[in-house]
Amino acid sequence: ELKVEQNPLFLSMQEGKNYTIYCNYSTTSDRLYWYRQDPGKSLESLFVLLSNGAVKQEGRLMASLDTKARLSTLHITAAVHDLSATYFCAVIPNFGNEKLTFGTGTRLTIIP
Amino acid sequence: DAGITQSPRYKITETGRQVTLMCHQTWSHSYMFWYRQDLGHGLRLIYYSAAADITDKGEVPDGYVVSRSKTENFPLTLESATRSQTSVYFCASSEGEGRNSNQPQHFGDGTRLSIL
């Protein structure tokens, strides 16, 4: 059974600081997705990572994928309040049940 | 506007009642999905559909029924609601699925369901 673990689960950080959210998964995969969810809202797709070494950047967010380590990172640069949200990674395994499996999410709070 | 809409947004019902959550998408996506979101569990797949009249179970299907008579609609029914089914339910759609798709799933705004 595929397990997707994110850490930290909760993160408070000051504006202007840098930080990284980690997403580890337990089986072979080269398809990983990052989503953002604001409180009471839907999930918004941020990044689609489809190969080892893939790196995507949008504004202050950068996501990368290391399929050999079964690890993806979401790096936040010079955080601003608008980035406060819950971030989910989700993985599609290469074999077996090819369904999207979500991590439990990282709730990020940016403090002014 | 194109998109995916869920109704109702909020629903309160009693144990034992039947309740149906609606999902409608205008993209003509082949694949549609139902997830539930609970604290500490992220999102878990309930059922999915690859096309009209093709549905299959996900990770947590017990107590739920789905149908898909038209491509654009994918209703989820709780035949006899239980308190453990209190959750936020999200519908999603995508062009492809699994390793046949490079696109993300697109999510509706969710239905917050409370069962008393």
Pick out chain B residues at pLDDT < 70: 1-2, 99
The burial class, CB within 10 Å (0-12 / 13-18 / 19+), for B75 is middle
**Across A32-41, A96-105, B14-23, B47-56, least confident range:** A96-105
CB contact B56 to A (< 8 Å): no
User: What pLDDT, in 10s, does the model give residues B3-17?
Assistant: 999 999 999 999 999
Residues of A in contact with B99 (CB under 8 A): 31, 92, 94, 98
User: What pLDDT, in 10s, does the model give residues A44-77?
Assistant: 999 999 989 999 999 999 999 999 999 999 999 9
Q: Name which of B50, B113, B28, B116 is nearest B77 in CA terms.
A: B113
User: Which one of A28, A99, A107 makes the best mutation probe of the B interface by having the most chain B beta carbons within 10 Å?
Assistant: A99
Residue ranges of E strands in A50-111: 55-58, 61-66, 71-76, 85-91, 101-102, 106-111
Tokens encoding A106: 């990282």
The shortest CB-CB distance from B42 to any of A48, A50, A105 is to A105
Q: Name which of B90, B61, B91 is nearest B78 in CA terms.
A: B61
Rounded Cα–Cα distance for residues A73 and A71 (Å): 7
Mean pLDDT of A11-37: 95
CB contact A13 to B (< 8 Å): no
